Structure 1
C-alpha cells in the first residue's frame, strides 16, 4: 500500500494547481519585482526561450523571489548604486550548480520526483495541457518599447516539497508504524544548522542567508547560551521588498527580525535608524531606494491591485489578477527531539514552513528537521518494501 501511494503519477498532484506565472530570463530584476508584486506570489519561474527550432521552445531555468533580489543588492559592488543593480538580468542571479527547478513529464512517478527533491530540486515543472502562449515584455521606464514572441508551449504548474508531503499525508497510515517514531530514533535531525547571535550584525550572516535559499532552511537567531530566540527565513525575506537590503546591512540580527516582522509595519524608529546608519556609511543611494520604493510593510499585509490597460501589463502576470500577500510566520516553529515524525510533519504543513527547529526543554537549539528530511524517511520505507518484494 505504501509503495503504491508513491508510485502515483505527478499529474495526480497537479489537480487544482494554478497556471505557472513566469518571466523571461532576460528580464531585469526591477521587472521581476514588479511581476512578483503584481502576481501575488513570492516566487516566479524564470524561462529561456529559443526561436532556433521550429515553433520555438521554452525551458524553465530557475525561480526568483524578492529574497534573491534583496541579497543581490547586499553585495558590496551593488550598495553604491542599487538602481543600476536592479537593471541586472534575472538570469545573472540564478544559482549555479544543481538545478533547483526540473522539468518532469506528467506520467513521472512520485518516487522519481522524490529522488529529484533529495538531490536538491525544489520545484518540479509539470505540463498540464498544450496551448499557444503569447506574451509581451514591457520596459518599466514607460518608453513603450515592447518585444513580443509566440511559441508552442505547455501550460505548466509546479510542485514543491510541500505538495508531495501533503499527498503522502493522505495515505500516511499505510506507512505505519514509522510515522509514530520520534525524531531521535529516525536520525533525521539535521545538526548542520546556521546560527547568528542576536547582537551580531545581520550582514555577518549574508552567506548563511544565501545558503538558506539554496537549501530551503532558515537562520536561527540565538542568545549567548545557544537558546533559540527567533529566525530569519527565506520565506520572511520574500515577503519584503528590495529596501530590506538596507536593513540587513546596518541592523543587528535582533533588530532585523523586528524590522521584517510581517505582522506589523517596521517601527518608525528602526526605519529612521536604518537611514541614519546608511548616511554614516555614505550609502545615500540606499536611502534613495528606501524613499522611492514601496514601503516594506505594504508587502506584509493583504492588498490588491488590478490591471486595466496594456500599459500595465508585466511579465508573468495574467490579466485581472490580484496581489494578496498573507503575513509570513515570524515566530520560529519548534519541536522536541522526542516529537513523533507525524506530529512534526503536520506541524510543518499546517504553518507552511520548510523546516522545524528542534530544541530541548530550555530552548537550547539541537538542530532542525526539513521537509526533504521527512520525505527521505518515506522514501526509505518504500525502498525497504520494494527490496523485500
Structure 2
C-alpha cells in the first residue's frame, strides 16, 4: 500500500484539472483585471515569450514568471497615489503586481514524484505548473496561429501549450484520500505534532483597515489570513485573501476608508450593506479622493472600472470586452461566486484537534490554513497546509527506509 502511494506521479493529481488561463508579461493591470473578471479562475498566470520564434520554439521558450489574483489588484489600488488616480494605475504594466520571489510558481514535469511535489511546496512553492499532455501533433493551422502576435486576452497559455495549476489543496486532498496509510498520525493532535505556528498576522477590530494592507499582502504570499482581534486578543473574524479574491476592484476604496471590523462586513458573502457603501462614499469625499470616488460611484451604477479611459483603440480591440464578463460574480449585489460557502468568520480549531479533523475543515472551507484558539477564543496560532505537508513528508520518508 505504501509503495503504491509513493509510486504516484504529479500527473495523477492533475487528472480532470482544466487548463490554466494566462497573460503575456507585456499586458497591463487593466488587462489583468479584465482577464480575471472574464474567467472562472481566481488566478491568472503571467508568461514571458519571444513572439518572433518558430511555433515549437515559442512553446519551448515561454516561461511562467508568476501569478496574480484580484487581491493583488485591490491592494495595488489601495495605495495612496493609486487611490487618487485609479485609472492611471490600471495602465501600469502587470509586472507591478508580481511577487519578487520567483520560487512561488514552479514548473514540474508530469512524471515527477509525489514526494518531489511536496518538497517543492515545503520549499515555498504556492503553485506547481504541470504540462498537460494531449498527445496530439500541432497541425499547420495551429503553427500559423502560434506564430501570430499574442493578444492581451486570456489564453490557455501564452505560448500555445496547455498547463494546469497544482495547489497545496490538491496535494492535501490527495493525501487525505489515503489517510489510512498514515495511521496513527492522522489521529494525533496538531499540538502534539508541533505544527501550530505562533507567527500570525493580526489587526485590531477598530483599527483602520489600511493599517492591515501590508499584512494582507503577506498573508496572500503565505497563503494564510489576517486575524481580526479585539483589545483582549480575542478572535473576532478575519480578513482573508481567499474571500477578498471574490470581491470587485472597488474593495480598494473600502480598505482605504473603513475600519478592519467594517471591512469584514464589506467583503462578507452577499456583498456590502448599503449603509457601509454610503460610509465609503462619504469618506472618499472627505479625503478628496476624487479619482476613486468617481470609479466607486460609477461601479455602483453598473459601469465597470476597466472600461474607462483605455489608452488606445488598438488596446481596446485586444483587451477582453466588458460585455463578455460574467455579470453575477463581481457586481454590487453579489460579490461572490456560488462556490463560496463561508463568510468572513474565521475557521478555527483547538490545540487538541486531530490532524485529520483540521485537514477536513480546511478542505471543506477551501482554505489552506486553520486558526488555533483556546476555549476563551484567544488566538494561539495557525496550522498551515505547508506545515501539515512536512508531517506527511517525514512519514513518507520513513516508508522508504
TM bucket (normalised to shorter chain) is: 0.7 to 0.9
Give the equivalent residue in structure 2 for 1:291: 297
- 1:76 is displaced (CA, Å) by 2.4
Q: TM-score, normalised by structure 1?
A: 0.86
Q: Distance in 2 between matches of 1:220 and 1:151?
A: 37
SS in 1 for 2:161: strand
Is the Cα contact below 8 Å between 1:68 and 1:93 reproduced in 2?
Answer: yes
Q: Distance in 1 between matches of 2:103 and 2:299?
A: 31
Give the equivalent residue in structure 2 for 1:58: 62
> RMSD between aligned alpha carbons?
2.7
Give the equivalent residue in structure 2 for 1:305: none
Whose strand fraction is larger, Structure 1's or Structure 2's? Answer: 1
- 1:231 is displaced (CA, Å) by 0.4
Give the equivalent residue in structure 1 for 2:313: none
2:63 paired with 1:49: no
The number of residues matched between the two structures is 363
Q: Distance in 2 between matches of 1:29 and 1:126?
A: 25
- 1:291 is displaced (CA, Å) by 2.1
Instruction: Summarize the alignment of residues 149-160 of structure 1 with structure 2, pairs less than 5 Å apart.
Output: 153-160=160-167
Instruction: Summarize the alignment of residues 1-389 of structure 1 with structure 2, pairs less than 5 Å apart.
Output: 1-2=1-2, 4-51=4-51, 53-55=53-55, 56=58, 57-129=61-133, 132=142, 134=146, 136-137=150-151, 153-261=160-268, 263-293=269-299, 325-326=337-338, 327=340, 329=342, 330-386=344-400, 389=401
SS in 1 for 2:371: strand
Consecutive unaligned residues of structure 1, counting only runs of 5 or more, are: 140-147, 299-310
After superposition, give the CA deviation of every residue in 1:70-129 in whole Å (9 maximum; x if it has no partner): 101112221211110011121222010242111111101111111111111111111112
Q: TM-score, normalised by structure 2?
A: 0.84
Q: Distance in 2 between matches of 1:113 and 1:265?
A: 37
SS in 2 for 1:186: coil
Q: Distance in 1 between matches of 2:359 and 2:68?
A: 26
SS in 1 for 2:64: strand
After superposition, give the CA deviation of every residue in 1:339-366 in whole Å (9 maximum; x if it has no partner): 0000101111111111111011111110
Q: Distance in 1 between matches of 2:172 and 2:165?
A: 14
Question: Relative to structure 1, is the Cα distance of residues 152 and 242 closer, same or farther in structure 2, using a 3 angstrom cutoff?
Answer: closer
Q: Distance in 1 between matches of 2:257 and 2:79?
A: 13
Q: Distance in 1 between matches of 2:230 and 2:390?
A: 32
Q: Distance in 2 between matches of 1:117 and 1:54?
A: 34
Consecutive unaligned residues of structure 2, counting only runs of 5 or more, are: 305-315, 330-336
Q: Distance in 1 between matches of 2:159 and 2:86?
A: 37
Is the Cα contact below 8 Å between 2:66 and 2:102 reproduced in 1?
Answer: no
- 1:151 is displaced (CA, Å) by 8.2
- 1:238 is displaced (CA, Å) by 0.6
